[in-house]
A and B are shown apart, each in its own frame.
Chain A
Amino acid sequence: DTAVSQTPKYLVTQMGNDKSIKCEQNLGHDTMYWYKQDSKKFLKIMFSYNNKELIINETVPNRFSPKSPDKAHLNLHINSLELGDSAVYFCASSQDWGGSTGYTFGSGTRLTVV
């Protein structure tokens, strides 16, 4: 029973399309995140939600919009996809701010824009 599950695992799409990545956690955590791992393998935070409220929104283009229908879900919608959006996107969750217990990550969604 996967703790943090994200779908799809792979996504290949054309430039200009709109796509969504879904994330669900069954750990009862109250904070969820989206991270992007770029071609240089850096993991960078995009968004953070605590109890369905947006608390961190890094300098991400507004084509990216997170949606949290409830505490257990944080979906990522991307409009007008660009080649530079190709990356691996990781969803994660933590209890509170996750300092001592860490974050639990999903297995990633590899997005390829062609």
Chain B
Amino acid sequence: DQQVKQNSPSLSVQEGRISILNCDYTNSMFDYFLWYKKYPAEGPTFLISISSIKDKNEDGRFTVFLNKSAKHLSLHIVPSQPGDSAVYFCAAVNDYKLSFGAGTTVTVRA
């Protein structure tokens, strides 16, 4: 039973443009939402998080938006760079358990 869903398996974006990744969840008890980035043969790397009581958190080129009523969050990357090409996982945590979405593969074109 997937509580965190990423419905877009892939995203292709031109260098310098905005990348928008989307995520939906079903469990209203999640305390925090997080985004991870993963390169092949490496573990996921924490990017940014947002508390369930906030609606926006920004860190450099990365901004996460949370819409609790829609149970939806998104990650904006501006501007996109070639090094951003990776798999991005949406995740949510409650009670020491981090639940992941299936991931979205982002390809940044030169």
Contact = CB atoms under 8 A, between A and B. Distances in A.
**Do A and B form a real pair?**
yes
B93 A42 contact: no
B45 interface: yes
B49 interface: yes
B83 interface: no
Interface residues of B, number: 24
B36 A106 contact: no
A97 B93 contact: yes
A1 to B, nearest CB: 16
Contacts of A62: none
Contact of A107 (B43, B93, B103): B43
Nearest to B32: A99
B82 interface: no
A78 B87 CA distance: 29
Interface string A42-58: 11110010100001100
Interface string A73-98: 00000000000000000101000011
Residue from the set B31, B51, B96, B100 with the largest chain A CB neighbour count within 10 Å = B96
Given A100-B32, A102-B34, A45 B46 contact: no
A56 B2 CA distance: 18
B96 A50 contact: yes
